[in-house]
Amino acid sequence: MPKVVTDVTCPFCGTLCDDLEITVSDDNKKILSVKNACAIGAEKFNHTKEPGRVTHPRMRQPDGTFKEISYDEAIDFTARMLVKSRKTLMYGWASTSCQAMSIGHEIAEKVGGIVDNCATVCHGSSLIAIQDVGIPSCTLGEIKNRADRVIFWGCNPAHAHPRHMSRYSIFPRGFFTVKGHKGRKIYCVDCRHTDTARVADTFIQVQQGYDYELLNAFRTAARGGPLPDEIGGVPKEKVYEVVEELKTGRFGVIFFGMGLTHTLGRNHNIDIAISFTRDMNEFTKFNIIAMRGHWNVTGSGQVLSWQYGFPYAVDLSRLDKARYQTGETTSVDLLTRNEVEACFYIATDPGAHFPIAAMISSSKKPTVTIDPHINCTTEISDVHIPVAMVGVETGGCAYRMDNVPIETRKVVDPPEGLLTDEEVLTRILNRVNQLMEEA
Amino acid sequence: MVEKITLNLITCRSIQQGVGMEAGKTSKKYFDACSIIEMHEDDMKNLGILKNTNVRVTSATGSVVVKAVTTRQELVPGLAHIPMGPWANRIVSAYTYSTGEPCFKGFPVEVEPAPSEQILSAVDVVKDACGLLKK
Ligand code: SF4
């Protein structure tokens, strides 16, 4: 009899939906159907059914092909690489569990690695701004139950966080939001007329790269100051009108994404968005939340922060203290300046998501990648160690975009013989300890 | 009609890109979702190309061949979008202004028709740049 697993957490985006229902075959080996997930979440679970999964570690040969090796050989190669290298970039972590991270950090402390996560190319700018000016924020549950003014600024949840709008930010009825969508006013600020803009009541089309100016105008308007006729392509009347509407709300929130963190101004864009939020608290209750991308990128920031005090780009190469300096200990800068001696990637694919100059540098160094699937990075690595998919084939803790921890579940068994991230990392740690004792 | 046009490029996530990623980096879904450039129809007319023509996109960093398409997520003329992925990253600058964050959005590119050029696969587009592609 197939059985239904309820309250499954989706390990794809920072919305971390925890209401999925998954039907699995009675031998616990196959996912038969997925309920409640969006297209991306469903694809993630369904993907396990597809043939061609790599089930053995692989080592790249001089001719570019890969040869299967045992876990022991792969772990030995990795440990030797880590012990030999004086500075190793240990990047990824956003798609694995907090438990796996803390084992990884122990390895980094031993070998003097630099631990960086996907925030480095994503919400890193936001983290810098938060360190500078703080953040008035709340949980998604509060949004669902209280928010009546919702702004999406430079983010596109219709594509990147597909169920965010139905679970929290636009459609649901909550304790004080009994009318659901009707009781909320939705704004979208973007340089494109995105699918999120289509569901907004008001779309504000900002010229690409003028978000800082427009946010500055919002701050000025909130204080009743004068504005030029047009700011970043938006007429001043519109700015005054929107700010007045926001003031009449009982509970407002700004969700922001890569439209702010990736454009010119970077952390300054977030800084001023937070400052505007703070200003608005003179008039009503206002909050701001970063639309974190990967399902557990927030978790990596959490674990690093409580262990070392910094949320990403933590340099442990001095062995006795942790350092953090964006532009210096951040992955892309380290790689383009050729400052690391080896690369260790886990649960990530910088090959697809880093600018090519960084990957050209990476490809010249000894590299090990731990990931369930073949991707752009595994194919230029020396060793690829396949693992079970966290949140599908093994459980572990994750943090939602609003910093709420949620346990992910094991739904099916991994293909036979596959180890989990935690098992592989523990074995690497043990081997590193052995090698260091021998030396 | 002109031989090449200069556009302002942004790279973003799309739901198709997300689905493709989960289907696998070597899947057709991923290839179809990411090896494209979304352009405004006016810009296509200006360049004298029809939808689904291959084009070469060149930035100060590099150059890549992708397929020109239109989109229902409307762009203004002069603005173009390549979904995040290895194709986009062939032309994204690694300069981070000391923030760690590369320049993924808002940089000038030249677009020219390249109907006879081939689009490389996700893995090959990275290997090619790293000098690992066996010709
Ligand atoms: S919205 Fe995000 S967490 Fe929820 S099902 Fe879709 S991909 Fe998964």
Contact A155, B37 (CB under 8 A): no
A79: confidence class by pLDDT, cuts 50, 70, 90: very high
Distance to chain B for A63, nearest Cα, Å:
9
Contact A159, A192 (CB under 8 A): no
The C-alpha angle A407, A39, A201, rounded to 5 degrees, equals 100
A270-276 mean pLDDT: 98
Mean pLDDT value across chain A? 97
Give the chain B residue nearest A363 (alpha carbons): B130
Contacts for A133-136 with beta carbons within 8 Å, 24 or more apart? A133/A271, A133/A274, A133/A275, A133/A278, A134/A274, A135/A274, A135/A288, A136/A274, A136/A277, A136/A278, A136/A281, A136/A286, A136/A287, A136/A288
Mapping DSSP to helix (H, G, I), strand (E, B) and coil, where does residue A220 land? Answer: helix
* Residue A284: predicted pLDDT: 98
B45 interfaces chain A, CB cutoff of 8 Å: no
Mapping DSSP to helix (H, G, I), strand (E, B) and coil, where does residue A333 land? Answer: helix
Strands, E assignment, A330-400: 342-346, 367-370, 383-385, 396-399
For residue A38, the CA-to-ligand 1 centroid distance in Å is: 6
| Ligand 1 atom 4 nearest Cα | A17
* Residue A92: predicted pLDDT: 98
Q: How far is C-alpha A436 from the chain's CA centre?
A: 34
Distance to chain A for B18, nearest Cα, Å:
6
Q: What is the pLDDT of residues A142-151, one digit of tens each?
A: 999 999 999 9
Which whole-number Å values give the CA distances from B10 to A272, B79, B105, in the listed order?
A: 22, 8, 4
A360: confidence class by pLDDT, cuts 50, 70, 90: very high
* Residue A50: predicted pLDDT: 75
Strands, E assignment, chain B: 5-10, 36-38, 53-58, 63-69, 79-81, 105-113
Mapping DSSP to helix (H, G, I), strand (E, B) and coil, where does residue B73 land? Answer: coil
Partner residue opposite A124 with nearest CB, options B23, B79, B101: B101
* Residue A329: predicted pLDDT: 98
Q: What is the pLDDT of residues A37-65, one digit of tens each?
A: 999 999 999 988 777 899 999 999 999 99
**Regions of chain B with pLDDT less than 70:** 135
Q: How far is C-alpha B82 from the chain's CA centre?
A: 4
Q: What is the pLDDT of residues A131-174, one digit of tens each?
A: 999 999 999 999 999 999 999 999 999 999 999 999 999 999 99
Please list every residue in chain B whose beta carbon sits closer than 8 Å to the beta carbon of residue A31: none
Contact A232, A212 (CB under 8 A): no
Residue A368 has pLDDT above 80, yes or no: yes
Whether residue A161 has its Cβ less than 6 Å from ligand 1: yes
Residue entry with tokens 């966290």: A390
Residue A1 has pLDDT above 90, yes or no: no
A383: confidence class by pLDDT, cuts 50, 70, 90: very high
Please list every residue in chain A whose beta carbon sits closer than 8 Å to the beta carbon of residue B26: 374
Please, where are the H alpha helices in A337-420?
Answer: 350-353, 356-363
CB contact under 8 A, B126 and A40: no
Beta bridge partners of A73: none
CB contact under 8 A, B13 and A194: no
CB contact under 8 A, B61 and A357: yes
* Residue B134: predicted pLDDT: 80
In CATH terms, the superfamily for domain A125-290 is Dimethylsulfoxide Reductase, domain 2 (3.40.228.10)
CB contact under 8 A, B105 and A259: yes
Contact B37, B69 (CB under 8 A): yes
B104 interfaces chain A, CB cutoff of 8 Å: yes
Domains, chain B, in order of start with CATH, read 5-129 (2.40.40.20)
ipTM of the complex: 0.96
Distance of alpha carbon A92 from alpha carbon A94, whole angstroms: 6
CB contact under 8 A, A332 and B94: yes
Query: Per-residue DSSP letters for A121-145?
Result: GTTHHHHHHHHHH------HHHHHH
| Ligand 1 atom 2 nearest Cα | A13
CB contact under 8 A, B102 and A293: no
Distance of alpha carbon A345 from alpha carbon A381, whole angstroms: 9
Please, where are the H alpha helices in chain B?
Answer: 15-23, 28-34, 41-47, 86-89, 122-130
Please list every residue in chain B whose beta carbon sits closer than 8 Å to the beta carbon of residue A13: 18
Q: What is the pLDDT of residues A332-353, one digit of tens each?
A: 999 999 999 999 999 999 999 9
Distance of alpha carbon A389 from alpha carbon A124, whole angstroms: 25
Q: What is the pLDDT of residues A205-251, one digit of tens each?
A: 999 999 999 999 999 999 999 999 999 999 999 999 999 999 999 99
Give the chain B residue nearest A209 (alpha carbons): B106
Backbone angles phi and psi of A297, in degrees to 5? -70, -35
**CB proximity list for A169: less than 8 A, separation 6 or greater:** A140, A143, A144, A147, A150, A152, A157, A253, A255
* Residue A14: predicted pLDDT: 97
Assigned fold of A57-122+295-438? Rossmann fold (3.40.50)
A390 DSSP assignment: B
